[in-house]
Structure 1
Amino acid sequence: MLIWAEATESDYLLCPLLSAPRTAGIDPRSLIDKLSRTLTPDHRKGARLELLHRIADYASTLGMQCDKRHGTTANEIVRRGGSLGRVAEAAAAPTP
């Protein structure tokens, strides 16, 4: 969800992965609480901070590759119903 949020420049609460538990009748609040805590300044230390930096770097690279190779942004792919997997596939595909 954090990679999705970074790549699409969206709020992680809007991530399509959160709709699946809701559709299945599972309350995603526990997951949301854990993610929220990870993103608070008090918890942005050590390994968590390093992980957040790596996620941001990966998502940035993924987004730039989509833009460069296909003239489309990760956000556009997701808006058209694609997944982060589709974003990665688009970024990895050879330039037409």
Structure 2
Amino acid sequence: MRDGVRPPLRNHHEEAAEELGTTTKRDTINTALREVTARYRRLRALEEAREPAADGALDMDLLLDKRAYRPRGADSATDDHGTGADG
């Protein structure tokens, strides 16, 4: 903003198009609307997950522990791919 005057909206469109990788005004607006909608959806989901976590209903350490859902040991890893010694 220069001298209290906003730059023309056209500059905002060009900046958004560059950030979003779009080429037309229509694509820029549609992509921006989709991204804003998705962002707010994610924020709402995060907020909804925080409430039970704060109340102790979710074990966040367990949920964030990557080892809890990955195979353990060499035997598990090869069996998952069907190349274990039994095959």
**TM-score, shorter chain, exceeding 0.5:** no
Q: TM-score per shorter chain, which class? A: 0.3 to 0.5
Q: Which has the larger radius of gyration?
A: 2
TM-score (norm 1): 0.32
Greater share of helix residues, 1 or 2?
1
TM-score (norm 2): 0.35
